Amino acid sequence: MCETCGCNHQQSPVITGGPKYGGNFRPEDIIFTGGDTENNGGKKREIEVKENVLGKNQDLAQSNRAFFNTHKILAINLMGSPGSGKTTLIIKTIEALKGEAEIFVVEGDQFGSLDADRIRETGIDVLQINTGNGCHLDADSVGRAIRELPLKANALLIIENVGNLVCPALFDLGEHEKVVVFSVTEGDDKPLKYAPMFHEASICIINKVDLMTYVDFDQEKARANLRQINHHLLVHTLSSGQGTGMPEWIETLREKMKSLQSEKRNAHATKKEG
């Protein structure tokens, strides 16, 4: 788990580049305390912290989810390897839906703000989270971020997680949909090699299909591998750069937003009738 990959580093994430540009918003140290040791007959024994870390994260995620549900904000946790095309997908999604819905982005990277700067050129509000040695976002950092963003009811919130096919799968952010992106350049075996990520996702995007003639990628084999890990997974094949397959992805988002808003209206109507 994250104790072995740097997330137990004591450096806090830094949230920058949000609507409040006058300085950085720096949260307190977050929950990744890592392991500890104690003497046991001259031997060191590791104290397991995974359950406590994930338990606290889950409580915070539920709080985030309650906020999203109350304000009918569809929250998407976008995950995938570096270079899978997540940022381009976000930009093209914004271009397709701008004018239909308010869109906000939380951008997660270990360092820098290159992707956030690209997204900000579309004219929407973006908030950068730099995780330092942390290899994923967590519910605490996202909760702080959504308090900084001027979120509005009925909006779409896209959270671009740190590029990583391992740790982001473990941490619920309070999102409605976990979307994993992998490109044809990564190989059709990725669902089997990184099974937890694809098992936890609700939507998978096979990206950069315009490059299939140049790489060794079997789309049917990839889909079979996905079904083996998660037969409930909704799969889109597209090229975010070229636009191929994008209308189907956009329609999925429209349906998800309408469904969330309809559920809230029905719940409100039922309560009122009662």
pLDDT at position 55, please? Answer: 87
pLDDT at position 25, please? Answer: 34
Across the range 187-202, mean pLDDT stands at 97
Distance CA 240, CA 245 (A): 8
Q: pLDDT tens across 88-140, in order?
A: 999 999 999 999 999 999 999 999 999 999 999 999 999 999 999 899 999 99
| Tokens matching residue 171 | 């941490």
Q: Is 93 left (phi over 0), alpha (psi -120 to 50) or beta?
A: alpha
Q: What's the mean pLDDT when you consider all of the chain?
A: 85
Residue 45 DSSP SS3: strand
Q: Assess contact for 161 and 138: CB atoms under 8 A.
A: no
pLDDT at position 28, please? Answer: 36
What's the pTM?
A: 0.82
Q: pLDDT tens across 41-59, in order?
A: 444 444 455 567 788 999 9
Q: Assess contact for 171 and 139: CB atoms under 8 A.
A: yes
Distance CA 186, CA 219 (A): 12
Across the range 3-25, mean pLDDT stands at 48
Sign of the C-alpha dihedral, residues 145, 85, 166, 69?
positive
Residue 84 DSSP SS3: coil
The secondary element (H helix, E strand) that includes residue 103 is strand 103-109
pLDDT at position 30, please? Answer: 29
Distance CA 123, CA 153 (A): 19
